[in-house]
Copies of this chain bind each other. A is one copy, B any other.
Amino acid sequence: MKIGELARLAGSNVETIRYYERKGLLPIPARSEGNYRIYGPMHQERLTFIRHCRGLDMTLDEIRTLLHFKESPEENCGEVNRLLDDHIGHVVHRIGELQALEKQLQELRGRCPDERRASTCGILEGLSQSGINEKPMENHIPGVHGTALKSPKEPE
């Protein structure tokens, strides 16, 4: 099967498949005479696995680890289980952050119940004040991973 069909079958997209190949998540496929990538059922299974994982918001690194265990069936799966626990931790952590965020935002919203001149808007005022969200949340993470709003790292 060629790349377009694989994409359709896995509900994915051609460029994404080539991207996964570059990133080492999908094994390099055979090529046809005309230099087309040729895939078999194992590629399809693997791609589907990857997409399931991405649907659960895992990073490509996390997925790489899981794929390793898929390929070595006699290894102990403890690390898989731990990886999932950690990942659940990522999600739970992020939920907590966002709930705190919502509270702050609601509080801020409450400061301007009506429409006024911008100079007296309680929201703009609140955002200018120190005291509201003085320091960025520690470990403030977009999605469930990655890094955003790091505080400037202190010299060692």
Which residues from B are CB-within-8-Å of A120?
A: 77
Let me know if B136 and A55 touch, CB within 8 A.
yes
Inter-subunit contact A70/B149 (CB<8 Å): no
**Size bracket, chain A contacts:** 35 or more
CA distance A130 to B91 in the complex (A): 23
Copies in the complex: 2
Q: Is B105 a contact partner of A101 (Cβ separation < 8 A)?
A: no
Q: Provide the bound-state CA to CA distance between A118 and B81, in Å.
A: 10
Neighbour of A53 across the interface among B87, B98, B115, B127, CB < 8 A: B127
Contact A115 B84 (CB under 8 A): no
Q: Are B57 and A84 in contact (CB under 8 A)?
A: no
CA distance A55 to B70 in the complex (A): 40
Evaluate contact between B73 and A118: CB separation under 8 angstroms.
Answer: yes
Smallest CB–CB gap between A132 and chain B, Å?
6
Q: How far is the CA of A115 from the CA of B80 in the complex (A)?
A: 9
CB distance from A20 to the nearest CB of B (A): 14
**Would you call B80 and A91 a contact (CB within 8 A)?**
no
Which of B70, B88, B146 contacts A124, CB < 8 Å? B70
On chain B, the residues within 8 Å of A12 by CB distance are: 152
